[in-house]
Amino acid sequence: MSPVQGLPEDNTGYGTQEYWEKRYASEGQDSSFDWFLQPEYLLPLLEPYLLECGKGKDVRVLMLGCGNSLLGEVMYDAGYHNVVNVDYSAILIAQMRARHAELRPDMQWLEMDIRDLKFNEGDFDVVLDKGTMDAMLTSKGDVWNPPEEDVQNCRKEVEEAVRVLAKQKGSRFLYATFGQPHFRRRYMLGHAGFALTHRDIGPPEGFSYFLYDLQYAAAL
Ligand SMILES: C[S@@+](CC[C@H](N)C(=O)[O-])C[C@H]1O[C@@H](n2cnc3c(N)ncnc32)[C@H](O)[C@@H]1O
């Protein structure tokens, strides 16, 4: 860790489990941090996608690399109670379980590597990634040609997301990121039955973010 509390020595730190464990241990149970796009802005943008599954607020959502973002909490309070949060930081997961146990008893927090999900095929309607693949793309080097290990990590994440998605209308992997299409689309292509689109989701002022939608399209 660098002398500046919470920051890695350089960006490569964001790609290590050790960094996240130390960060969450030093932040403590009551900290919250959204890397970008606050939940009050993002959730209304996500809802039309969530509701396309036809299950209303019972839609089964998997949050990849939840961190201590407020998105899961805001979704729960809006009535989405089938949100499962996973992250590979054991400390973070213990903190989140303790923090939400009383107020949000149905919220699930599981320690898991998103490249090796412990779920069955079809367990979820929507898989969400907000800024987590970004953390796996922090190696030094040429951003146009990332190291093969990073490419494999990202492709494995998406393969796992596609595996656990129900193969039905409305099912999708949604990825919110600062990463522009040239640098991100490549990780989501090549899944039979799925179609990839993306859009600029603002905010209206300042830096633009993107939402990638890898939707199950075979039945459309
Ligand atoms: C940049 S933060 C994003 C947190 C949150 N989604 C947000 O929007 O604020 C990345 C998070 O992903 C987790 N993470 C990174 N790689 C992971 C992996 N392979 N498996 C599970 N969690 C991972 C980190 O522990 C960290 O909590």
List the residue whose alpha carbon is closest to atom 23 of ligand 1.
65
* Ligand 1: centre distance to CA 63 (Å): 10
Please report which helix (H) or strand (E) contains residue 1, including its range.
none
* Ligand 1: centre distance to CA 76 (Å): 19
Cβ(131) – ligand 1 distance below 6 Å? yes
Q: Which residues of the chain have pLDDT under 70?
A: 1-5, 219-220
CA distance 54 to 75: 17
Which atom of ligand 1 is nearest the CA belonging to 35?
A: 9
* Residue written as token pair 């509390």: 5
Dihedral sign from CA coordinates of 166, 168, 174, 180: positive
The overall pTM is greater than 0.85: yes
Cβ(8) – ligand 1 distance below 6 Å? no
CA distance 125 to 44: 18
Phi and psi of 162, rounded to 5°?
Answer: -65, -40
* Ligand 1: centre distance to CA 122 (Å): 23
* Ligand 1: centre distance to CA 15 (Å): 9
